[in-house]
Amino acid sequence: MSSNIEIKHIEKSKIESVDFNNLPFGSVFSDHMLVCDYKDGKWQTPVIEPYAPISLDPSAKIFHYGQSIFEGMKAYKDAEGNTLLFRPLDNCKRLNKSAERLVIPQIPEDVFMDGLKALLKLDEAWIPKNDGSSLYIRPFMFASGNGFHASPANAYKLIICTAPSGAYFAGKVKVLIEEKYARAANGGVGFAKAGGNYAAQFYPTQLAIEKGYNQVIWTDDNTHEYIEEAGAMNIFIRINDTLITSPTSDRILDGITRKSVIQIAEDMNIDVEVRKISVSEVIAAAQSGSLKEMFGAGTAAVISPIAGFGYQGTDYDLPELDKPFAGTLKKAITDIQTNKAEDPYGWRVVVK
């Protein structure tokens, strides 16, 4: 590990105050955070310091021009007490892909990985051991440079915070296929984990929640005829025994859980099709009975089974299956993540 990290220890840990048997999602924070500043044209020495408020000038561009990106990751403990990460370099690479599109300077992979590992070692006691819980990791980067000119900032911060967390969703979710609003433009930033992509979804999601749904399934902004993603998750649709998901594009996030699900499903000899899927195909399948399952895939929820969906004022229920793909795939992926199963892919990384 690089020695080039400054560490400022907390005076007294807060860990005694946390009930690890009743963890919410992402609202209890560990003792420390990693902060790395970009200024004068380069990334400075990363500092691990007590989790504490950040101070910014009111003209900092994060407040005005939305230059912000993030990642979601999880750390687990296995039975031997090892700290495990899942495909962490993929998160770093995606963070840098988002950074490029948002004109935020890219973070060197070794700075990111060494800083993350040092943070996890220092706050190791914060990693939950209960099944279904994990240490949610939130790396984020934003414009800290000042001024009201609508142009990229000259200073940025990378921060990595961690939060011991329980499940993101409790149980199955009911979704609404969107017909009016859209998440992403062709040639826009939908593929990036940009902050603005999330705020843009809140209003249509709120309308869907008022109608009794949990989440929106986004469709393309031009025709609203093709299924894209769920905003916080990619979407998989099972018709008969074929699992279908939309191809990634400049509008759709290249989800790490998504691509892991595709790989595992293929290796289980499930027929996987990565192709455009139209709303009318889904409706026809629901009507004929060939629509067996829908589920979301993402780091926070891992795999989130969908109970049913609404479209054009009609609700469609999905069948209760004995052995749904969702359950089989969720077990396979979480077993790899938590070292309960072999990892033939080399996805699991032990933090040493």
Question: Footprint of its own copies on residues 205-224 (CB under 8 A)?
Answer: 205-206, 221-222
Binding test (CB under 8 A) with its own copies, winner from 56, 155, 167, 307: 56
Single out the segment in contact with its own copies by CB under 8 A; choices: 85-93, 179-187, 239-247, 305-313: 179-187
| Closest CB 311 distance from its own copies, rounded Å | 16
| Closest CB 126 distance from its own copies, rounded Å | 14
C-alpha–C-alpha distance, residues 305 and 235, integer Å: 10
Single out the segment in contact with its own copies by CB under 8 A; choices: 21-29, 75-83, 276-284, 325-333: 21-29
User: What are the C-alpha distances in Å from 172 to residues 168, 215, 300?
Assistant: 11, 11, 14
| Closest CB 19 distance from its own copies, rounded Å | 17
C-alpha–C-alpha distance, residues 172 and 133, integer Å: 18
| Closest CB 53 distance from its own copies, rounded Å | 4
229 strand-pairing partners: none
* Angle, alpha carbons 337-326-302 (nearest 5°): 40
List, in order, residues 6 or more apart from 80 with CB less than 8 Å away: 339
For residues 297 and 263, is the Cβ–Cβ distance under 8 A? no
Site for its own copies in 181-200 (CB under 8 A): 181-189, 194-200
Site for its own copies in 227-286 (CB under 8 A): 231-232
DSSP secondary structure code for residue 175 in this structure: E
Any contact of residue 163 with its own copies (CB under 8 A)?
Answer: yes
Q: Count other Cβ atoms within 10 Å, centred on residue 248.
A: 17
| Closest CB 186 distance from its own copies, rounded Å | 4
Site for its own copies in 91-150 (CB under 8 A): 100-103, 136, 138, 140, 142-143, 146-150
C-alpha–C-alpha distance, residues 30 and 66, integer Å: 26
Cβ burial 7-21 (10 Å sphere, 16+ → b, else e): eeebeebeeeebeee
Any contact of residue 18 with its own copies (CB under 8 A)?
Answer: no
Q: Judged by CB, which is closer to its own copies: 93, or 101?
A: 101
| Closest CB 79 distance from its own copies, rounded Å | 27
Q: Judged by CB, which is closer to its own copies: 154, or 328?
A: 154
List, in order, residues 6 or more apart from 60 with CB less than 8 Å away: 143, 144, 145, 146, 153
C-alpha–C-alpha distance, residues 160 and 108, integer Å: 14
Binding test (CB under 8 A) with its own copies, winner from 5, 23, 31, 33: 33
Site for its own copies in 57-76 (CB under 8 A): 57-59, 62-68, 70, 72
Any contact of residue 29 with its own copies (CB under 8 A)?
Answer: yes
Neighbour-count burial of 196, counting CB atoms closer than 10 A to its CB (0-12 exposed, 13-18 middle, 19+ buried): middle
Q: Count other Cβ atoms within 10 Å, centred on residue 94.
A: 19
| Closest CB 160 distance from its own copies, rounded Å | 9
| Closest CB 66 distance from its own copies, rounded Å | 3
Single out the segment in contact with its own copies by CB under 8 A; choices: 56-64, 236-244, 286-294, 338-346: 56-64
C-alpha–C-alpha distance, residues 127 and 77, integer Å: 7
Any contact of residue 308 with its own copies (CB under 8 A)?
Answer: no
| Closest CB 342 distance from its own copies, rounded Å | 31
Q: With contacts defined by CB under 8 A, how many residues of the chain interact with its own copies?
A: 72
